[in-house]
Structure 1
């Protein structure tokens, strides 16, 4: 009797262990198969429900990871598609005008050379922006911080950008001179990209107001244009997002990535009624 009970107990224990093992091993094998299917393009989410809390938690973590990978791959694909399109346009102009000069179809060589130069500079700027974004994303962008007198720095930025539109005035307001410790080249790119966007939409003027809260430099840049469309507001810093007027590019994404790379932050929106136009508020630490 004892031997029979012992054999039955061993058999029952083995069956229970086998059953428990299967409830764990089968979902794990399924998870391994799903991981092998991940390619960032097709949906590889797990839809099954599991009885064990730990396996349910693992499934949720996997699904979140899979969704992030798929979204990242889609963003990368979209980024390269748009970058290729933006590079293709100036290349087509350069090729067309070059062929026109060679075949002597274009008689005004000076005008053609001017367009070729302009499109070459545009393409160079785009390539440099893409490289800068890539380096900042991988945290390999080299910063060279130095002491910077903000008013003098902004004056220089305004002088450069004022040549783009003669009918738009850029006003600069500051309570007092202020020193910060930051990378001047990256900050200049950030400010110029914002001013370039403001100049595109402003009617008559742009205002830059400088202040401090004791720990951070606060820069408010605003224009008197139509402002952002409500549907565009959540996406204005996305790379190659096509917003108001069908414009797309990476200018404002450079602003977002660059200001955060410098340890600061940025917000943007529309000015309060009755005023109209867009605003950008940048916060930068006084010491980098």
Structure 2
């Protein structure tokens, strides 16, 4: 379902409520006027009969004198019931007379209880005047004009507050997008409308807390990585001195294992520092001929790996990117593809919808779909059966993911029939 503009939504709700209110109001007014007209008819008729009683010496409707008084007052007298489907309305009584009122076209007709053979109604001239005064078309026209004027007024009054609200919601949308892009310095401008002002304060407080926590985390990670370098260097120096004085092969093998463990610790330290730097470094964009750049990298790998066949489809495409970060991304992805491929790796670039897309596919085991988000987390190792010689330390894809976020590259992983396919979609930075 297509989203509705908030202005038109509010305007439509208010307009519908206004139309229903005015319709109810007009029906109510029309009903009240009808009741008043009925009451006026009954009281006027009874008043004329009382007034004619003295000069005519009678209130009998067959009296020409009484009929003359009624005619002069806008009534007609007849022994006929004028409307077949007339509705019985109400019974009116005085001390001397009881009057039963019925509907009649646009007016009323009545019968005296003591003279059931005679009927009194509004005369034609009175009915014509009443109909002209209460023309339904005139009422509809008047209602339409009043409704239109009110709707225009409501639209004018709603426009500015809704425009302000829409502008603030646009700011909120941009702020959430910025948070998704890991820009935690974003803040919302205050809006003196509750509960939106409270929402803005809580959003700003949340962003500030996230920013502070990340800064503390980055400082801690950076400090730990730097502090590890000194004892690791000393341990490597001590092992090098110890290797020269070892008397037997068993002790040498143990020292070699210790040396390998120190290499892994240094690898963790270097990658951790690199991850922290990625999160705090702005990209430096330059024009890169992606096809030549990839051809050079693949040419080096083809000469180093004999068991892997490298296939490429690299049409001429130039992009703007940070070569250092792009190197980090491609090298890690190619290393993973080469490490887990059975016999071949294919690299392909193409363009869709004015966006450059790079695909790296291997014929290895792939990554289960439910584990793919976990693979992008730091120090995540999905296959616990592998040791660290084959499984790595779990920072490669985390570095790739962070670098892609810095370059606004969309990273996707899909399991194909022949293995894992990593898709990079280059968007404007």
Q: Do residues 227 (structure 1) and 372 (structure 2) align?
A: no
Q: Name the SS of the counterpart of 1:218 in structure 2.
A: strand
Q: Which deviations, in whole Å up to 9, do the C-alpha atoms of 1:4-53 show, x marking residues without a partner?
A: xxxxxxxxxxxxxxxxxxxxxxxxxxxxxxxxxxxxxxxxxxxxxxxxx9
User: For the aligned residues, what is the CA RMSD?
Assistant: 4.5
Residue 119 (structure 1) shift: 7.8
Of 147, 164, 184, the residue aligned with 2:287 is 147
Aligned residues of 2:367 and 2:420 also touching (Cα < 8 A):
yes
Of 396, 406, 411, the residue aligned with 1:251 is 396
Query: Partner of 2:33 in structure 1?
Result: none
Unaligned runs of 5+ in 1: 1-52
Cα separation, partners in 2 of 1:156 and 1:118, compared to 1, 3 Å: farther
Residue 156 (structure 1) shift: 1.8
Cα separation, partners in 2 of 1:63 and 1:181, compared to 1, 3 Å: closer
Residue 192 (structure 1) shift: 0.7
> Which stretch of the first structure deviates more once superposed, 256-265 or 164-173?
164-173
Of 254, 257, 262, the residue aligned with 2:407 is 262
Aligned residues of 1:206 and 1:222 also touching (Cα < 8 A):
yes
> So what's the TM-score if we normalise by structure 1?
0.59
Of 312, 316, 319, the residue aligned with 1:172 is 312
Query: Partner of 1:190 in structure 2?
Result: 329
Q: Name the SS of the counterpart of 1:249 in structure 2.
A: coil
Q: Do residues 278 (structure 1) and 420 (structure 2) align?
A: yes
Query: Partner of 2:272 in structure 1?
Result: 130
Q: Name the SS of the counterpart of 1:232 in structure 2.
A: helix
CA distance in 2, matches of 1:194, 1:283: 14
Query: Partner of 1:6 in structure 2?
Result: none
Query: Partner of 1:217 in structure 2?
Result: 356
Residue 199 (structure 1) shift: 1.4
Query: Partner of 2:115 in structure 1?
Result: none
Cα separation, partners in 2 of 1:224 and 1:243, compared to 1, 3 Å: same
Aligned residues of 1:263 and 1:284 also touching (Cα < 8 A):
yes
Aligned residues of 1:79 and 1:240 also touching (Cα < 8 A):
no
Aligned residues of 1:100 and 1:106 also touching (Cα < 8 A):
no
CA distance in 2, matches of 1:155, 1:181: 18
Aligned residues of 1:223 and 1:277 also touching (Cα < 8 A):
yes
Spell out the pairing of 1:1-288 with structure 2 (5 A cutoff): 94=236, 98-105=240-247, 126-138=268-280, 140-141=281-282, 143-162=283-302, 165-174=305-314, 176-245=315-384, 246=386, 247=391, 248-271=393-416, 275-285=417-427
Query: Partner of 2:174 in structure 1?
Result: none
CA distance in 2, matches of 1:62, 1:103: 62
CA distance in 2, matches of 1:182, 1:66: 30
CA distance in 1, matches of 2:364, 2:374: 19
Q: Name the SS of the counterpart of 2:421 in structure 1.
A: strand
Residue 264 (structure 1) shift: 1.5
Aligned residues of 2:329 and 2:403 also touching (Cα < 8 A):
yes
Query: Partner of 1:18 in structure 2?
Result: none
Residue 278 (structure 1) shift: 0.8
Residue 229 (structure 1) shift: 2.7
Task: Pick the structure with greater CA Rg.
Answer: 2
Cα separation, partners in 2 of 1:211 and 1:250, compared to 1, 3 Å: same
Q: Name the SS of the counterpart of 1:147 in structure 2.
A: strand
Aligned residues of 1:190 and 1:259 also touching (Cα < 8 A):
yes
Q: Name the SS of the counterpart of 2:330 in structure 1.
A: helix
Residue 193 (structure 1) shift: 0.2
